[in-house]
Structure 1
């Protein structure tokens, strides 16, 4: 028995396992930010030697995969309802609440080279909601592309406007009058952003509702893509 094992046995501490490692990593990222997370820092948090972590996660990338899955696992299951739109809307807003609790998670999810098992299961479930709502497989395919990261509760903005607010620079306003006009009318909620930029709650829900209503209109029209229509 190693000294570390003996210490664990003597103190009655909770045995280290993958779930405990992932939960500790998520909590550490919440507290300090994802950039401060390291295997060594996580080992200190768990009061183990760093090598003990590698019995449960092979490397930092596998740790991040597991953290992404742990966060996605917090999203509420879909509610029942006769209309697919509020069901989909409610689940996406649940995903958004989860990502607001873990502001680093959107970046980690985007950084994965492929979808993790929990993300795949979530996306499969969302596709199933569209199909159960009467959308064809063809339309659902394009809906999933159109929704993109919004399915997981966040969106990507053209520019990072998270800097200090205030009147636009007069020289820039004269050169780009329409952008200056939009900037002057914008009102963003502090602390509601997932990631950087102007992705506040109102804007997210505004775009989400436009998309869902548009998909329903296409469904009613029996829309199909040109590729399918040509068959």
Structure 2
């Protein structure tokens, strides 16, 4: 029997094509018609693998989350180092696929990888000694911070024209036109500064929980 000219359609092939389309053109570009065209198949054939377009989007989003390292929750690392390492891995996965971040920011829904990540973080914090309510808040706080950092670029929001920043109007923005050239360095540095400040603040709270007498007035 002759081999088919194109690879057989599969869930993995559909998800890979969907994520590539989102990466290149954004969430609005994803439709079953466009995806079918990219795959060289008829639209209805997609429904043999996914019931709806939303299910394809869920699977594509979950594929991104599977790239996040969760090994630090359970390998003996201190909870502070675990949050640092997880936060960095989480942001790296999102910045590799920035167009899907707004969808991921909604929450894990029923997506398995998203739920496994939430379970790992919550479990890691509880095992470290955080009360369950605080562990839940930490997971939420980290998600807000990481997804927010991946939604856009601070440095990239400034134009490269020095004339825009007239010192008469903006006396402190004389170097702002240089920010976009150093976008990656500035944005990564801002994330690292914020992540460390966040965890340092949590450490103060953790000590106060262990010894209520040290709680700030």
Deviations 1:20-60 (A, max 9, x none): 21112112222333333322221122111011112222222
The alignment status of 1:118 with 2:113, answered yes or no, reads: yes
Given candidates 23, 33, 47, the residue that maps to 1:54 is: 47
Q: Secondary structure at the match of 1:104?
A: helix
Please report how far the alpha carbon of residue 140 of structure 1 lies from its aligned counterpart in structure 2 after TM superposition.
1.6
Structure 2 residue runs of 5 or longer lacking an equivalent are 212-217
Q: Could you tell me which residue of structure 1 aligns to residue 189 of structure 2?
A: 202
Matches within 5 A, 1:133-172: 133-151=128-146, 154=149, 162-165=157-160, 166=162, 168-169=165-166, 172=169
Matched, 1:64 2:61: no
In structure 1, what is the Cα distance between the partners aligned to 2:125 and 2:198?
A: 13
1:34 aligned onto 2:27: yes
Please show how residues 181-200 of structure 1 align to structure 2 within 5 Å: 181=172, 183-184=173-174, 187=179, 190=182, 192=184, 200=187
TM-score (norm 2): 0.76
Contact 2:68 2:89 in 1 (8 A): yes
Give per-residue Cα distances to partners, 1:136-164, cap 9 Å, x unaligned: 2132233234333335583568x896141
Change (3 A) 1:101 1:92: same
Q: 2:13 aligns with which of 20, 29, 49?
A: 20
Matched, 1:132 2:127: yes
Q: Secondary structure at the match of 1:125?
A: helix
Alignment partner, residue 176 of structure 1 = none
RMSD: 3.4
Gaps of 5+ in 1: 1-5, 174-179, 194-198, 225-231
Cα distance between partner residues in 1 of 2:104 and 2:4: 37
Return the match for 2:82 from 87, 90, 99.
Answer: 87
Tell which deviates more after alignment, 19-28 or 134-143: 134-143
* Partner Cα separation in structure 2 for residue 200 and residue 215 of structure 1: 22
Shift of residue 190 of structure 1? 4.7
